Amino acid sequence: MVGLLLAQLLLAWPAGPPPAPEPSFLAAAAIEVARERMVRAIEREAAAAAHVTGVPVLDPRVLEAMRAVPRERFVPAVMAERAYDAGPLPIHPEQNLAAPFLTAFMLHLAEVRPGSRVFEAGTDTGYQAAVLARLGAEVASVEILPELAEIARRLLDELAPGRVALRVGDGYDGWPERGPFDAIILKESCDHVPPPLLAQLAPGGRLVLPLGPADGVQHLTVITRLPEGGFEARRILPVRFTPFQRGSRT
């Protein structure tokens, strides 16, 4: 059944603007309740994981941004009523929208501030880029799948105009012309730290990524470029992400 759903996802995205969800879900009160429920679930997950992460409370700015961004717009219409569920959501046969807690936690670790220059590898349909824009970041985002980049571009032009530069390509190489970056977020697992991304990290900047083999143990990791030179790495939390989709799909 999951395979059938995934096979239908591309058909759920039309050539024009994404359709509005069903009226029952569009009620402002229902959306507000769903968003608040998502934020409370994120707070509970953060508290439950604090004995491992050392982070009992997430940056309230991140939570407010996630409360404000219409997550239901970034999933196919058939998934709209599940947009604020706690788990990941399939948006394409090759991509999921990350679970809200992991999105919030990675943004917390990135320490994004107004005016921060942020590189994102893997735009998907643009949800995290929209949250970053809401935080006041200047976002450069690369998506390897043209069909997802097209959806993201439409949504971000509407919801975060002028805040996100987007192109189709291999996020492994970053976007040197727009660097250096105060934060870099890689949303898929990699078994090593990509050298091009390290090179584009500004002094004091943070690279947040799931580090580890595709079929083994991964850890959400923060790499900080030290002002005096060199890098510092911290393992934060065991995770399981899909493999980084480079151009060769390896």
Per-residue pLDDT of the chain (250 residues; tens, 9 = 90+): 444 444 445 444 544 445 444 444 557 788 899 999 999 999 999 999 999 999 999 999 999 999 999 999 999 888 888 999 999 998 888 788 999 999 999 999 999 999 999 999 999 999 999 999 999 999 999 999 999 999 999 999 999 999 999 999 999 999 999 999 999 999 989 999 999 999 999 999 999 999 999 888 899 999 999 988 899 999 999 998 888 876 443 3
- Who contacts 239 (Cβ-Cβ below 8 Å, separation ≥6)? 102, 189, 210, 218, 219, 220
DSSP 3-state of 41:
helix
| Contact yes or no for 70/155 (Cβ under 8 A) | no
- What's the pLDDT score for residue 95? 82
The domain locations on the chain are 2-239
The token pair at 159 is: 């919801």
- What's the pLDDT score for residue 133? 98
- What's the pLDDT score for residue 231? 96
- What's the pLDDT score for residue 1? 43
- What's the pLDDT score for residue 152? 97
- What's the pLDDT score for residue 214? 84
Which pTM value belongs to this model? Answer: 0.87
| Contact yes or no for 127/69 (Cβ under 8 A) | yes
- What's the pLDDT score for residue 246? 67
| Contact yes or no for 86/36 (Cβ under 8 A) | no
DSSP 177: G
* Pure H helices in the chain: 2-12, 23-26, 28-53, 60-68, 100-110, 127-134, 146-159, 195-199
Identify the architecture of domain 2-239 in CATH.
3-Layer(aba) Sandwich (3.40)
Nearest of 180, 171, 177, 102 to residue 142 by alpha carbon: 171
Angle formed by the axes of helices 60-68 and 100-110, nearest 10°: 130
| Contact yes or no for 165/241 (Cβ under 8 A) | no
Per the DSSP assignment, residues forming a β-bridge with 25 are none
